[in-house]
Structure 1
């Protein structure tokens, strides 16, 4: 009889259907046992994801209006400092106050004056060159209408500059000047000037209507604010110098 029971058990183990039924019964038993444990999920319920832990109340707070305003003011202040620094040390803009640099720069009474960008930094690392268009502080003998003037560098330290026969001469050499206003038909005569060390002889391109070193003398290199590099306004005059 015992052998018959053993053979029956072996027959169930070899029967796939029987094994599946046994596994289902075992899972039901385990589920019933877990449902009897306190805090366990109800039978047949689907396990749910653990709730996300809430952040502390102080971590959920948004920046206050005062905080946002303070950040905005700090940003604007930083921008203002950068702009002022650039204007003071690197690049500045100047309107042409007169027609003394026509036709290179426009500043006549009946036209829109050019706005010129001036590089204030380059002369800290390089020397002033002939034909540079420079902005400089008004020399003592210049008219007091403008605190700063703009002219072209003609004579360098140590050179002798003179004007005759409608041309400008550096020593005995005539200076080619394609920038001179053609309406002036050259440059009027003026006596020879020896340019001292550290000084520069400057002239306007509109030779028949320019108060320059022929009137107020040479200018000091220390009075030069910077070199004009471009016309930025009006847009139709936009160009490099």
Structure 2
């Protein structure tokens, strides 16, 4: 009888031990999936990665100036390269140094002269035309005050230019020149000049006050900087040429 009671009482003990071993195995399995060296916070299942600390309300993110500075420097460098490229090869601006192009262009020593925009690119693809207002490097016989001069193209290569009876002639044909300063009463007489190949005969619109090809001779094609296309300053003189 006693032996049977011991056999009957051993059943609950074995069942309890089995549940304990299952619980231990489950706990070990959960700890194995957690990050090494980390302790799960209270209330989180084993293996859950810890949450990142949150920034307090109202706190501002510290700005990173290095990327912004790099972008700003890149932008300024790009603008500088564009400006230099445009000024060197495409357009430029020049102040009128004297009154030799009155009334088309205004310029004097004690006033606000016109600022002229010069197209440097057009003559790379096309030829110089009569009546173009061009900026060119100072010829050897011109006064040394200015490095560049601005005049109007009158005679083309191979033509014969002369002045008499108050007009300019190309061969035997008188030019119609509405741009000439009316205060001069036309153009003074000058001897006929044959314009050599690769050169141009230029004159100022203010025929009674202009040092031009009548004085320093023709200019070479290579000395021409570009064609004047507009007056950009002052605003009251703003216009296309």
The bucket for the TM-score relative to the shorter chain is: 0.7 to 0.9
- Inter-partner Cα distance in structure 1 for 2:109 and 2:79: 36
2:167–2:188 CA contact under 8 A, matched in 1: yes
Q: Which residue of 2 aligns with 1:216?
A: 216
Aligned to 1:139: 139
- Structure 2 CA distance for aligned equivalents of residues 83 and 63 of structure 1: 32
In structure 2, the residue matched to 1:189 is: 189
1:116 is matched with: 116
Quick one: distance in 2 between partners of 1:93 and 1:63? 42
Q: 3-state SS of the aligned residue for 1:111?
A: coil
- Whole-Å separation in 1 of the counterparts to 2:196 and 2:93: 30
Counterpart Cα distance in 2 of 1:137 and 1:87? 16
Please give the per-residue CA displacement for 1:58-113, whole angstroms capped at 9, x wherever unaligned: xxx97721232122111101000001101111110000000000000000234310
**Offset, 1:202:** 0.1
Distance 2:172 2:111 in 1: 38
Per-residue CA shift, 1:23-77, capped at 9, x if unaligned?
xxxxxxxxxxxxxxxxxxxxxxxxxxxxxx97xxxxxx97721232122111101
Alignment of 1:20-31 (within 5 A): none
Q: Deviations over 1:4-33 (max 9, x none)?
A: xxxxxxxxxxxxxxxxxxxxxxxxxxxxxx
CA distance in structure 1 between the aligned counterparts of 2:235 and 2:226, rounded to whole angstroms: 22
SS at match of 1:72: helix
Q: Distance in 2 between matches of 1:88 and 1:110?
A: 29
SS of alignment partner, residue 71 of structure 1: helix
Following superposition, the deviation at residue 185 of structure 1 comes to 0.3
Note the 1:34-73 alignment, pairs <5 A: 64-73=64-73
Structure 2: where are the runs of 5+ without partners? 1-50, 53-60
Q: Which residue of 1 aligns with 2:178?
A: 178
Report if the CA contact (8 A) 2:162-2:190 is conserved. Answer: yes
Q: Deviations over 1:161-212 (max 9, x none)?
A: 0001110000001011000000000000000000000000000000000000
SS at match of 1:136: strand
Note if contact 2:97-2:109 (Cα within 8 Å) is conserved in structure 1: no
RMSD: 2.2
2:38 counterpart residue number: none
The 1:62/1:124 distance shift into structure 2, 3 A limit, reads farther
Q: Quick check: 1:130 aligned with 2:130?
A: yes
Contact persistence 2:133–2:228 (CA under 8 A): yes
CA distance in 2, matches of 1:224, 1:206: 21
Distance 1:121 1:174 in 2: 31
Pair 1:229 & 2:222 matched: no
TM-score computed with the length of structure 2 as normaliser: 0.74
User: Displaced runs of 4+ in structure 1, greater than 6 A?
Assistant: none
State the Cα distance separating 1:153 from its structure 2 match. Answer: 0.1
Cα distance in 2, alignment partners of residues 71 and 164 from structure 1: 64
- Where 1:177 maps in the other structure, the secondary structure is coil
